[in-house]
Structure 1
Amino acid sequence: MINLDAIRAARILLVDDSADNINLLSEILAVRGYTHVSSIGDSSQVCKLHAQNDYDLILLDMHMPRMNGLDVMAQLKEVEKHAFLPVLAITGDERYKVAALEAGARDFIIKPYNLAELDLRMRNAIELRLLYKTMAAQSRLLEEKALHDSLTGLPNRRLLSDRIEIAMQYARRHQQMVALLYMDLDGFKQVNDHYGHACGDDLLKEIAERLRSVARQEDTVARIGGDEFIMVLSEISRVEDIVRPATKILSLLEVPLDIGGKSVKVTGSIGISFYPTDAEDAQTLLLRADEALYCAKHAGKNRYQFAGFPAFGDARTHSASNISFQ
């Protein structure tokens, strides 16, 4: 339930072309304890104001020059953010009741209105609006949690697949490449075994922040489980474009972390695959990067490895200038 204080603090807009009606209603609402009440006499401005202020209730007179209440509600539907029109229609004509409800009004009241009835209908309409907004916010939060890793806040495997598809579609249209960097931490198990899983979790969160610091706005950093991270780099024109970020990531991972007063050091291994050279779909692209990661591990760890090429020692110092993906 919505408490009375929240209802009294709701954002309310009075719409009436009569200044006397506006003044009277404003005084009534002030006495009732409503603290955020605005008013306007020009009905053509209601839509613009609602888009800016997201009102919790609009007390809308249905009979106004230039734009009547039905026309106003038709416009409001185009800017309403919550698919819930917060309109209490005010009319002196009984015939407008059904038309107002059909147009999307939450409720109506007939003039001259009883003050107790007005207060009750307002409270009901505002409470319904606030409940709807609360449920919408909770739904968005649940959806956000379903798409993100609960520990690091990074996109999870589900959201990652969508991001890879989007990056590939963009690359296809602009004749570019997408690079997928599949990473895991060397020595992470030893951290858990020696310092405990709480320390391991803090380490993963710190690593996530370091990876975020390397990524561009158009890139995606995801955690897909355990100590495995994925970085999707879009708008890639040359293989050489990957050498610098891959090298920087490995260097950042090597820097010791202060976890709960303990100096913890790990390194990382990275497998790299490219769209469209190594694969033309997200699942295969991930598989190729995973295979390259295995090669990097097998070659001694703390390095990156391109898919489809033999392991080459300390890949951080390797020049990719002789590799062509044309």
Structure 2
Amino acid sequence: MREETSTREEYTQHLLKRYSQWLHRIEQVDRGEVDALSRELAGVLPERERIGHKQLLEEIVKLNEKVTHLLWLSEHLKILHDLSHIFAKTFEEEEILWKAFELVSRVMPTDAFFIAFYDEGDSEIRIPISIDNGVNYGPITLPYGKGLISKVLATRQTVHLQTSGDETEGASVRWGNPDSDTNACIFVPLMLDNQIKGVISAQSYREFAYKKEHEELLAIIGFQVASAIETARLYDRMYQMSFRDELSGILNYRAFHRDLEQILQSEPPSVALVMLDSDHLKAVNDQYGHHLGDALIRRIAEALKQSASPGDSVYRYAGDEFMLLSPRATLDEAMAKVRAIREYLRLHPLVYEGRVIPVTVSVGIACYPEHAATADGLKRAADEALYRSKHNGKNCATVYGTA
């Protein structure tokens, strides 16, 4: 009896030593070893002692799973950290989408991948990027209301299919190229500020390719993508606003210089520049107030827009100075536009407290390459022609180089 007790104590010491080794390398614990030891206990220890050891083994397994999960997340969160830095440096939507695909491919099996965007109330789902075996099938639009994407958008819940045989509503429209469909799929809602923005999906031709951790990673990546796209679109709106005049609604001087340079880089470069100035803005401001001066500026902008041809661009350059660029227009065509502008203003004077206030402009016209060899030279030529019109009594047009 004493020998049996001694043997059991030695065995217990052996178990404790083994437990200690496992705890010191918990991430390396082999589940098969734990199961084998659990079975071994049945023939060595009495049931009362065996229960305590089995509970301890279960805790070791749980701890191993938690530590393994945390190590797995830590490894991939480093990649996600890199992604946030990449997204912070670009405002190009297409680049953001491709970077997202590259990242997802690094952290999980990704034979197929897409990102879909949806604005609540729309009838269509927009898919700008849809990759299968390295081929981008996007952009694609799908009707809202059918299939797995619509299901995720409506429920805001992740859909995880382990095999091609998984039963779920909309399974008939699973993703993949036309010749071969994917098996394992994750469809995760893109959420931002508690609003549904779309769906991100990773897919594999191998069954059971994904774990719960992959869903969590894809959700994190999806949030970063949605945030980056929102920022990029906001930046684009602000960028476009920087080229538009707030008072008149037409383009501004930044847009003028940008567009003129682009025109002169085309083949063959040819453009007519119409520069015009209000004749009486200061007098209107002084006599009637700046609110009517603002109305005068808007009226000239209307005249430019109404008289411009398709392909022309109109600008409020500064104060009451305006520009019209007409690529490939002849001098006669430019003169016709000026006549249309002046006629529009003649027919649409300002009216204030029953008083009619005429709106007239002085105009200068120059053409590239006839009158100048550079963008600055063209602007100076039109400006000189405009000065001639002012000098000649206003309310007239002058072509550069003429009296």
- TM-score normalized by the length of structure 1: 0.62
Match of residue 335 from structure 2: 243
- Name the residue aligned to 1:302: 395
> Structure 1 223/120 Cα, relative in aligned 2: closer, same or farther at 3 Å?
same
Sort the Cα spacing of 1:253 and 1:118 in 2 relative to 1 into closer, same or farther, 3 A: same
Cα offset for 1:61? 2.2
Which of 127, 137, 149 lines up with 2:233 in the alignment?
137
| 1:305 match: secondary structure | strand
Number of matched pairs: 240
What secondary structure sits across from 1:221 in the alignment? strand
Q: Which amino acid aligns with 2:261?
A: E
- Pick the aligned partner of 1:224 from 291, 307, 317: 317
Give the C-alpha shift of residue 260 in structure 1. 8.7
TM-superposed deviation, 1:137: 1.2
Question: Over aligned residues, Cα RMSD in angstroms?
Answer: 4.0
Question: Bigger shift: 30-39 or 133-142?
Answer: 30-39
Residue 167 of structure 1: how far off its partner (Å) = 2.8
Look at both structures and tell me which one has the larger radius of gyration over its CA atoms. Answer: 2
Taking the TM superposition and a 5 Å limit, the aligned residue runs for 1:12-161 are 33-34=156-157, 40-44=173-177, 56-63=198-205, 92-93=208-209, 110=210, 113-114=211-212, 121=217, 123-161=219-257
What's the CA shift for 1:62?
1.4
Give the letter for the 2:200 counterpart. Answer: I
Give the % identical residues. Answer: 28
Change (3 A) 1:8 1:282: closer
Residues of 2 paired with 1:241 and 1:309: CA distance? 17
Write the deviation string for residues 29-49 of structure 1: whole angstroms up to 9, x where unpaired: 589545999763350159xxx
Does structure 1 conserve the Cα–Cα contact (< 8 Å) formed by 2:149 and 2:199? no
SS at match of 2:255: helix
Q: Cα distance, 1:202 vs. partner?
A: 2.6
Contact 1:203–1:259 under 8 Å retained in 2: no
Q: Deviations over 1:149-197 (max 9, x none)?
A: 2222322222212222333344x527xx421111011111111112222
Structure 2 unmatched runs, 5+: 1-116, 132-147, 160-168, 180-189, 191-196
Instruction: Give the AA of the match of 1:44.
Output: N
The structural deviation recorded for 1:252 is 1.6
Q: Match of 2:110?
A: none
Tell me, yes or no, if the aligned pair for 2:118 and 2:198 is still in contact at 8 Å: no
1:231-284 Cα distance to aligned partner (Å, 9 max, x none)? 1122124x3222211111112223313469864322001011111121011111
**Which residue of the partner structure matches residue 300 of structure 2?**
207
SS in 1 for 2:373: coil
Provide, for residues 112-166 of structure 1, a one-character-per-residue CA deviation record: whole Å limited to 9, x for no partner.
x44xx67755653443232222101111012112222222232222221222233
Q: Which amino acid is 1:244 matched to?
A: A
User: Quick check: 1:157–1:224 contact (8 Å CA) kept in 2?
Assistant: yes
Shift of 1:7: 10
> Superposed, which structure 2 residues align to 1:176-325 within 5 Å?
177-237=270-330, 239-254=331-346, 255-258=348-351, 263-310=356-403
* Equivalence for 1:319: none
Mapped contact 1:152–1:205 kept (Cα < 8 A): yes
Residue 27 to residue 155, structure 1, CA distance change in 2 (3 Å): closer
Q: Any idea what the Cα deviations from partners look like across 1:190-244, whole Å, max 9, x if unmatched?
A: 111122222222321232122111111211111111000001122124x322221
* Structure 1 pair 230–8 and aligned structure 2 pair: CA distance change class (3 A): closer
Cα distance change, pair 12–124 in 1 and its aligned pair in 2 (3 A): farther
Q: Distance in 1 between matches of 2:118 and 2:384?
A: 58
Partner of 1:96: none
SS at match of 2:316: strand
When residues 7 and 186 of structure 1 are mapped into structure 2, their CA distance, relative to the original with a 3 A threshold, is closer
**Contact (CA 8 Å) 1:12, 1:38: kept in 2 or not?**
no
The one-letter code matched in structure 1 to 2:385 is A
CA contact (8 A) 2:118 2:126 kept: no
1:173 and 2:268 matched: yes
- Consecutive unaligned residues in structure 1, runs of 5 or more: 1-5, 16-24, 47-53, 65-90, 94-109, 311-326
* Counterpart secondary structure, 1:179: strand
